[in-house]
Structure 1
């Protein structure tokens, strides 16, 4: 296993995989179960699935497709989307997922984080924070797949989520997501310096150098990859892939020496 985790983050829309750019314009990628089979063969250490429409459509997760994914998958799994009750969270764990990723529900019911963490352990709860810069260049937390601006400061919100019992924080830059322009290092670093939790950087990765940079300069504990693992290259066709392990090790070792 890699010293720093490198995690494919796959977006679900109904029963299909899609990829967005800045949380908009979802493009079809393929069948999630077949994609899991490919990642099994590539010996990926961990996978994350995020349903991008469940919350806004006010519906429960698609347990049918999630059960198929869990049955096929050889590695630890995390899931987020539509997790608005303890019973729904229970169902996710019961079908074989190891972590739940909470986002919108935390704003209306912050105690929900503590409820899940108290029952399943902090390590099973990933707090997801989606962030976008406003007109003046200040960071603000958005929910509901980037549709609702909470006006919260992401650093203050991360500190509160740590207090409530989250075990990890997945920080996504909406401005960078799907752009191949690299992670938001300033955002990642500001949150990693404010809390004592593992920080998963997400949004914008376009190269192995971006991974090195967000670990060394952003102090990220892990990175989540989207476009880089579902496309051949920028503006090219779909190709489910994963960087060679030796190349990842070299990138991570390089950043640790800097």
Structure 2
């Protein structure tokens, strides 16, 4: 039986974990390996870890850190940041990571998806789309931490990456990043209409109801979460957490209901 996954998303900046707001400011929240250890104990579905420095600095993925994360993690890991080639992706998979996330490399040349899927398996290839609404209300894709606009339209990119093959698409709302104002359902609607690929939505979750509402509305979908799982209270004290038992049970009920209705 398929069910939605709920994945913490951790951002690596200068080898430490940070949380951003609308891709600006960087609040330090701890050590990556320590965070992985805590999420192990909380029996997390999956974890997404993105190095937000690598592509901007044109640097190679931090293989030493990736190996340490893979060795420590007891949950599936999706890792992204600075990955541009098939060889880099294969090396990351060989280190023990389950999925490799790409952004600018795919947006510049979507044809690389075919050799990537052949090399590491379609289920291990993830494309991350950082999306922001412009003053006309249209959604645009950005790379390099929201500083470089992609000329192609969102709908065109979704068609392209689906035609070449992809295991999963992570859609990250720049406008909702770190704001804890709820997921952007208008954005999710567009993505759902334009692709049949598995999708995960990131940006805006403020409470467990936001996660449940996303899953109830779109059935089998990935819900990724940043601030909600690393902050507590109005002053945003750092406290790593995960779903409570009540929410976990609700997600299981939704999955069972969806399974019976299919």
Q: Sort the TM-score into its range (normalised by shorter chain).
A: over 0.9
Moved more, 14-23 or 209-218: 209-218
The answer for the alignment partner of 1:41 in structure 2 is: 41
Pick closer, same or farther for the CA change 1:128–1:197 going to 2, 3 Å.
same
Q: Which moved more, 1:197-206 or 1:152-161?
A: 152-161
TM-score (norm 2): 0.92
The 5 A counterparts of 1:164-179 are 164-179=164-179
Contact 1:70/1:77 (8 A) holds in 2? yes
Runs of 4+ in 1 over 6 A off after TM superposition: 255-258
Counterparts of 1:219 and 1:203 in 2: how far apart (Å)? 18
State the 1:117 CA deviation: 0.7
Aligned pair count reads 258
CA distance in structure 1 between the aligned counterparts of 2:63 and 2:186, rounded to whole angstroms: 37
- What do the CA deviations read for 1:150-201 (whole angstroms, capped 9, x no partner)? 1332222112111111111100110001000001101112111221111101
Aligned match of 2:201 = 201
TM-score of the superposition, structure 1-length normalised? 0.94
Partner in structure 2 of residue 16 of structure 1:
16
C-alpha distance in structure 2 between counterparts of 1:85 and 1:24, whole Å = 28
Match of 1:242 in 2: 242
Higher RCO (Cα < 8 Å, 6 or more apart): 2
Q: 1:204 to 1:192 in 2, by over 3 A?
A: same
Structure-2 residue corresponding to 1:188: 188
Q: Does the 8 Å CA contact 2:212/2:247 hold for their aligned counterparts? A: no
Maintained 8 Å contact 1:128/1:169: yes
2 CA distance for matches of 1:55 and 1:15?
14
Q: What does residue range 108-119 of structure 1 map to in structure 2 within 5 Å?
A: 108-119=108-119
Q: Runs of 5+ in structure 2 lacking a partner?
A: none
**How far apart are the structure 2 equivalents of 1:241 and 1:20?**
18
Contact 2:22 2:175 in 1 (8 A): yes
Task: Say if 2:3 and 2:255, in contact at 8 Å, map to a contact too.
Answer: no
Q: Does the CA-based 8 Å contact 1:171-1:201 persist in structure 2?
A: yes
Structure 2 distance, partners of 1:211, 1:9, is 14
Cα displacement (A) at 1:234: 4.3
CA contact (8 A) 1:18 1:30 kept: yes
Matches of residues 215-226 of structure 1 in structure 2 within 5 Å? Answer: 215-218=215-218, 221-226=221-226
Structure 2 CA distance for aligned equivalents of residues 9 and 15 of structure 1 = 15
Looking at structure 1, the residues matched to 233 and 224 of structure 2 have their Cα atoms a distance apart, in angstroms, of 17
SS at match of 1:129: strand
